[in-house]
Amino acid sequence: MASINLKNLKVEAKKGIEKADNLKDLDEIFRKYLGKKGKITLIFNSLKKLPLNKRKKLGREANLVKIGLEKLIREKTQKFKEEIRAESLGKEKIDITRPGKKVKIGHLHPLTLVQREVEEIFQSMGFSVITGPEVETEWYNFDALNIPKDHPARDMWDTFWLRQNESKNQKSKIKNNGLLLRTHTSPVQVRYMEKHNPPLRIIVPGRCFRHEATDASHEIQFYQLEGLVVDKNISAANFRAIIEEFLKRFLKTDIEIRLRPSFFPFTEPSFEIDVRRKKGKWVEMMGAGMVHPNVFKAAGLIPNAPAGGWQGFAFGAGLDRLAMLKYKINDIRLFYSGDLRFLKQF
């Protein structure tokens, strides 16, 4: 009885395989006969109820049917797969003449672009580009620049202190071990003059830090451009000429500048420089002045007061401010926001 049943199943399954049109049909047939609850599987399951000799005979027959059907299904599956592959190969073409995908390349940050442009202009006027440390000693940042402890001018810089000075002796570079994030690039003036004899012309671009509330024109980090020219008879008139030339070339328009009296401990006299485009509003651009004799002394040079020594001018401008003026940017925080909508415009 089971034997007849097996033969019928075999014929039935074979027909099914022949009729199968696709992989899905084949899968269904496999499940119907050979799957967990498949008709042939059920025959295997029923074997244990049979006496030994019948069990052996039917078992062998069922196994042969199973192997035969598996082979048919495997062969037809393979055939379908090959057909599918051939079809997709026919459809998929690689067009090597199509333009490639563009790799997106970034570009330099607007502040870096401005810094490079500024450096180029000054280099063409004979200046060297110098850098100094961002972590600075209290001595170079303040004392050597004629800003003694308790001098009210120190209030102008809200400093990020890394280490407070432990010594009471403010007049000593060695004993004062205060450490800070530099609040301006001016300390590089002294560092440079200690190692180089005048005549000299340098600019010092660099990052500075101040502990202050941020708004559209203040950031806790910003870039400055320091300048220093020292020789035997450098005057404020030389300064005016150089800075006017620089601003004209940098802003690429006709501009006017004016010098206003001001105060910085490291210059005497000191002035503030304002700039305006034709008939525009005056914009405060930088501080400057004639290098104070005490700064020369701190650097180990002999000042020209009373006579026979060195003299010169120094200036300090905000690179961010220069960039803002050039590109008409109204918020300094944009430079540090990493906002691509802003950065892509440069």
CB of 228 to ligand DAH, least distance (A): 7
Q: Which is nearer to ligand DAH, 35 or 269 (CB)?
A: 269
Q: Which is nearer to ligand DAH, 202 or 288 (CB)?
A: 288
CB of 227 to ligand DAH, least distance (A): 7
Q: What share of the chain is helix, strand, coil (3-state, %, to 5)?
A: 45, 20, 35
Residues found near ligand DAH in the complex (CB under 6 A): 184, 186, 226, 264, 267, 287-289, 314-316
Nearest partner of 226 among 185, 195, 275, 269, judged by Cα: 185
Peptide bond into 199 cis (omega under 30): yes
CA gap 209, 236 in Å, rounded: 29
CB of 335 to ligand DAH, least distance (A): 18
CB of 289 to ligand DAH, least distance (A): 4
Q: Which is nearer to ligand DAH, 43 or 319 (CB)?
A: 319
CA gap 55, 57 in Å, rounded: 6
**Closest residue to ligand DAH, Cβ-based?**
316
Q: Which is nearer to ligand DAH, 30 or 264 (CB)?
A: 264
The answer to whether the CB of 248 falls within 8 A of the CB of 199 is no
Q: Which is nearer to ligand DAH, 30 or 159 (CB)?
A: 159
Nearest partner of 181 among 130, 142, 155, judged by Cα: 142
CB of 332 to ligand DAH, least distance (A): 15
CB of 183 to ligand DAH, least distance (A): 7
CA gap 39, 70 in Å, rounded: 14
The answer to whether the Cα torsion of 322, 323, 328, 331 is positive or negative is negative
Q: Which is nearer to ligand DAH, 246 or 315 (CB)?
A: 315
